Every structure is written in C-alpha cells, then in structure tokens.
Amino acid sequence: MLNFTTYLKMKRYDGRNLTADDRMNDVSVTIIQSKMFFTEGTFTKMSPEEEGNIEIQQVITYNLPENGILHIEVPINADTVHLKIKAVFMDSVNSIDVDDLFNSPKKVYLQAQNEYQDLKVGIPFNLDVQSNIHLDEIKYLVISRGQIVHVGKENAMSLTLNPQSSWTPEACLVVYTTLDDGTVVNDVTTLSVHPNFENKIFVSWNKEKAGPSDSVSLKINVTESNSLVGLSVVDKSVKLLGDRQEITTKRISEDLRDYSTIHPRRITNPHQVFEVLLNSLRGREILVVKANYDPTEDFLPTWHSDFGGPRVRSYFPETWIWKNINMRSDTELEISTVLPDTITTWITNAFVISENLGFGILESPVQVFSFSTGNCHVCVATTICQGF
C-alpha cells in the first residue's frame, strides 16, 4: 500500500498567519486506522467491537513551522478501510475521515504526490508519482474549465509541468498507465494555480497629495478597446477591519473555484476518474456584461460648487467613486473630479473585462492623499477700555 499524505494549515481567526507566540504551542494529531467504518461519535467513545477492529492508533505532537503548514504522511495497512485524523491546536479542533473507496482487485496503485505548493502561471513545478510496482511509462492529462488543456507522457515517475493561463484557477491532473493485461491504473488530484491575468489595467492620479475640494484627474489605461472597467475609490478607514470587501486576485480565484464541475473527492472508483471528467467537458456558458456609464458624463459630484468664497466642509463619504465605465473604442481615459472633504488617504482599485483578453485586475491599489494645512481665525473686539 502507498502512504496517505495530507496537509494541515493553521491560521488565525481573521485569516492572518500565526504569530511567533502562537507557534510556541504544539499541535496534537491523533491517527486511527480501522478495519471497519466508524459510526457517528465513535472517535471519542468506541464499543469493544470497534476497538477490536482498530489496527493502529497514534498520537503525534508537532511543532509548527513559520508558514503554519504541516506535512503529515501516514503509512496505510493493507486491510485498512477507514482512516480518521484529528488535529487539536489550542482551543481549535478539526478532523477528516477517509474511506477505502479505491480498491484495486490486482492490488496495483498509482498516486500523484501533490504537495502544498503555490503554483503560478508560467513557473514550472515538479510532481512525483508513486506506485507499488515498477512502471516504465506514465501518461497524464490536465482538465480545466471544462476542457482538456494539456496532455503528455513521461518515462520517469516525476512530472515537470508548466501551468498556463488556461489552468487557472483550478485544474485536475489525471495520471494513468495501462498494464500488460489491459488494466488501467490511475489517480486524480487538484492543482490550484494562481492566475496571471493577460488583461492589464493601469490607473494613476495626476497628484499624490491635494486638499479637500481640489480638482484632480484620474487616468485609466487598458489593453483592449471596448473594455468594461469597474472603478472604486474608498476611504482608507474602511479597510481597518480587513479587505474582505475588496476585489483581489486571491478572492477572484477562490470564487471561480466554486464553479468547478470537477470534484475529485466525489470520485469513488478508477472508472469514475474518466467518467466524471468527461461529463465536465459538456456545455459552456457565456456571461454578457453591459455598462451604463458614458465616458463623456460629467464626473463632478453634485456637492461641488464653483462659486467663490468660504465653503463649509460637509461631504465625508466612505465610498467616493463606484462606477462601471465603458471604454468604447478608446484604450485611455482621463476623468476629472473633485476631492471630498475628508482628510484621509483614498484607495483606488479597478478591474477590466474585455471580449478577447477576459478578466484583469489592478495589481496594486493606487492612492491619493487628501490633506489640509492648519489655519486659525481670531476674532477680536474693535475697541477696548483700560481700568474698568
């Protein structure tokens, strides 16, 4: 039998990495292998019959590395049908159950060793394949977004793959071989690929600093004409509780994975590896997005006035600009507007969608700082009398 490999990732409740003080606490991992399936609640309380079917029960203590990710490898007995792993860290508890669903009549197995890697488009990576017998050749195919995007074969038990944009945000890798008697042995694993969007957008302010109600302009450059641009400019204070509402490359990748039609964990036998993947190749949907903003529209806010004289500061929005912009035949656009009254840093984010290049996002937010110099106006009496 081959080893079972899993990864345990520890994070704080707010999604941030563990601190040095957090990592001083150990992680306790309990591993149970059984010749029978567990019933609900048997992990903490077992009957004599269930205890008799337990082959291995281990409790292992781990020190956490700086990245908070533990690599756990468990040797599996030949007669194990149920594996349960429970992890305890401080006051957090989590567990997984794995059933013996891939059972080869010939006791021949193939396993893709998908390590916890941060895969990126255009950066090659290695993936090892293990088997309990000697193999002269292995074949593989990659499926993403309902299409077969890559195929190949190797004469070694190690694959060197170079992720492409078509693999994002998630792809399924199938490795397989055919034995001399025609038996097909295979395995499937998921590859999470960090996208490198081909569609680019660039945004810049004409000033880094300006005062409240000062005129400023924002320049937008896109790669392809007839693009749709989504633009947001918000007060920096909005992000004090995190960037949960911000559109980021990571969040886009996570959302797109929810639409994946391939779920390797639902595959229960080698035949379904190909059956499920072939079903995922059926049908594609087209998303049509329409913009309602005219670039020639006046971008000056309704609170702005061109009349002279002192003006009472009264406009303090959290969200300053929130617009969909149709670039039409242009790839460059300049927007003139006026800073609100808030003394703050304004954070600008943008994304772009076009027909040929698809989705793109502003890689780093652009900022403009609104400030006001201190001033004091003293009112004094016109005359004074001494001695009264």
Distance CA 183, CA 213 (A): 75
- 6-20, 31-45, 70-84, 326-340 — most confident range: 326-340
pLDDT of residue 388: 62
Whether the pLDDT of residue 308 is over 90: the answer is: no
- pLDDT tens-place string over residues 213-244: 889 999 999 999 999 999 999 998 887 766 66
Domain boundaries, the chain: 1-100, 201-240+284-370
CA dihedral 44, 47, 49, 55 (to 10 degrees): 20
The distance from CA 235 to its chain's CA centroid, rounded to whole angstroms, is: 24
- pLDDT tens-place string over residues 77-121: 777 778 889 999 988 899 888 775 566 677 788 888 877 567 888
More confident residue, 114 or 45: 114
More confident residue, 106 or 150: 150
Asked if 1-100 and 201-240+284-370 have one fold, the answer is: no
Whether the pLDDT of residue 156 is over 50: the answer is: yes
pLDDT of residue 117: 67
pLDDT of residue 268: 47
Distance CA 79, CA 110 (A): 18
Tell me what the mean pLDDT of segment 183-189 comes to: 84
Tell me what the mean pLDDT of segment 149-163 comes to: 89
pLDDT of residue 196: 80
Domain formed by 1-100, architecture: Sandwich (2.60)
The predicted model scores a pTM of 0.59
Least Cα distance to 231 among 337, 370, 355, 344 occurs for 337
Burial class of residue 31, CB neighbours in 10 A (0-12, 13-18, 19+): middle
> Cis peptide leading into 169, omega within 30 of 0?
yes
Phi-psi region of 352 (alpha: psi -120 to 50; beta: other; left: phi over 0): beta
Query: Of 271-275, 329-333, 381-385, where does mean pLDDT reach its minimum?
Result: 271-275
For 201-240+284-370, CATH number out of 3.30.43.10, 2.20.25.10, 2.20.130.20, 3.20.20.450 equals: 2.20.130.20
